[in-house]
Structure 1
Amino acid sequence: MSGDPLNTDVYHKGIFAPNPFVYFHPHKLLVIMLDVRNMDFKEFKTYLQKLINNRCRNMYYCLKNRSLVDRLMELRDEDDYVRFLDAGFDDDDDDDKIDIYIDDYHEPILD
């Protein structure tokens, strides 16, 4: 893992649409230099809930330089969080950035 904090775009209050698969009308928050390495999953989720002033039941992340349809991954527990950190701090890339999507409508989208 890189020693640098993570930069992320947090998308919320949007809605996922299936055909084509997109996230419509989101609010976007840019979070710069977030030190997620010192957080566990529960702390990270609490941070996001405070950031967007809402609950985060259904959370997803998208790998860098990939479309939603190709690389949207669910973020629901500590194991997913470890994979999220690995993706965000990819050693092959100097730009430690990852996008987070919060589904306020609680629809299962990865079936």
Structure 2
Amino acid sequence: MAVTDGRVVGVVAHERLARSGGRAWDNHRYLMVTAVRGDQQRTGLARLLVESVLADLASAGCESVEWLVHPSNRASIEFSRNVFPEADETQPPEDDPYVSFALAL
């Protein structure tokens, strides 16, 4: 979470994935949301937040992260492509219509 002048201006959330039977998959995370206030969106805050979370995850032994973006969310598609060009971009049928990004850490 990022706070400026006592106000939340950005958040990032992730979760550990669970395999069948409920066992946690400790070396992989699902990036659930990155949200930045409209007046902070051109400041690079989203990149800073996501990169800091990814660095923390990598230092804790996480090996990969994935996230989904709806194709109509052009800003998030462009952000994902521009900030993480090394991410594997696919459109798996099970996630239709979402675009999936997978990043090795």
Rg (Cα) greater in structure: 2
* TM-score of the superposed pair, with normalisation by structure 1: 0.31
* TM-score of the superposed pair, with normalisation by structure 2: 0.32
**Structure holding more strand per residue:** 2
